[in-house]
A = this chain, B = another copy of it.
Amino acid sequence: MSRTVVAFQGEHGAYSEEAIRQHFGDEVETLPLGTFADIFTSIEEGKADYGVLPVENSVAGSINQAYDLLLERDIRVVGEIYLRVRHCLMAPKGTKLEEIRVVRSHPQALAQCEKTIAEHGWRAEAVYDTAGSARELAASPEPGVAAIASALAAEIYGLDVLVKGLEDKNWNITRFFVLGEEETRPAERNKTSLVFAVPHKPGALVECLNEFAEKNLNLTKLESRPRRNRPWHYVFYLDCEGHWKEPNCQSALIGLLSRAAFVKLLGSYPAAEMPDEG
């Protein structure tokens, strides 16, 4: 039997790959791809069984490009992952912390470590990818240069981790959707994600949200995005507790269908545990 293949965007050692390891363990094969859209395509074309897509970060907020793709493409959400992002400072073996003058990483990772970088007086250099900064440094080591990336990247590219947890805020968590085509069964705790639009009239959104409140379904996320080609119209991304196979969730979905302009059910899936702050 062939191994399960899980697609992600980035290079080996990306945080997305760490998320895959956390969720699926070490037995699955990971498939690095160039773009978020490639993840959807790889599943559609049968090249991957699942994909892992970052959708929001506790520091940076929602990843709009990911949400736009969830609306455009027709793949289900079959799971979620919360990954505690721990930026590691890494350098070629034998490098000492006090030798470091320059740190390289993706601009967002650099921004998340801004205070620490300033305290040490390091010069920050932006590269296109966190894992890529580690791979390149391993391939062409330069004295006094370190990369900021995941512990997995250090392991893969054979670099020494000089500092673990370089990020300024402990509460740095990225949420990923697990994409796939299978039908999920209700677990003990479930979430349902969907996209909908409301008719352009007063009270329309509240009426839609009431459908969930009346069935005692907590909303865990609600976010608006402009509706393409329709100025001042919005689509709403909503997560609620429950599985579409459960009666109260079905009842809310029918109520929503009767009020919304359209509904796209992204999927129901087992709710993930939020990692500890420590």
Q: Which residues of A contact B (CB under 8 A)?
A: 44, 74-75, 181, 183, 195, 197-201, 244, 250, 253-254, 257-258, 260-265
Contacts and interface: CB of A to CB of B under 8 A. Distances in A.
A44 B74 contact: no
Contact of A261 (B197, B199, B200, B264): B264
B199 A75 contact: yes
A258 B200 contact: no
A253 to B, nearest CB: 6
B74 A197 contact: yes
For A198, A250, A262, the residue with the greatest tally of chain B CB atoms inside 10 Å of its CB is: A262
A195 B262 CA distance: 9
9 closest cross-chain pairs (CB), A and B: A74-B261, A262-B264, A74-B199, A257-B265, A250-B254, A262-B262, A263-B263, A244-B258, A253-B257
For A181, A250, A258, A260, the residue with the greatest tally of chain B CB atoms inside 10 Å of its CB is: A258
A260 B75 CA distance: 10
A181 B201 CA distance: 10
Contacts of A265: 257-258, 260, 263
Contacts of A44: 199-201
Contacts of A244: 254, 257-258
A262 B75 CA distance: 11
B258 A257 contact: no
A237 B219 CA distance: 31
Given A44-B200, A181-B201, A253-B254, 11 more contacts: A44-B201, A74-B261, A75-B199, A183-B258, A257-B257, A257-B265, A260-B265, A261-B264, A262-B264, A263-B264, A263-B265
A44 B261 CA distance: 13
A10 B197 CA distance: 31
A74 B235 CA distance: 13
A152 to B, nearest CB: 32
Contacts of A74: 197-200, 261
A71 to B, nearest CB: 9
Contacts of A257: 244, 253, 257, 263, 265
8 contacts: A74-B197, A74-B198, A181-B201, A195-B262, A244-B257, A253-B254, A261-B264, A263-B265
A75 B198 CA distance: 10
Contacts of A200: 44, 74
Contacts of A199: 44, 74-75, 181
Contacts of A75: 199
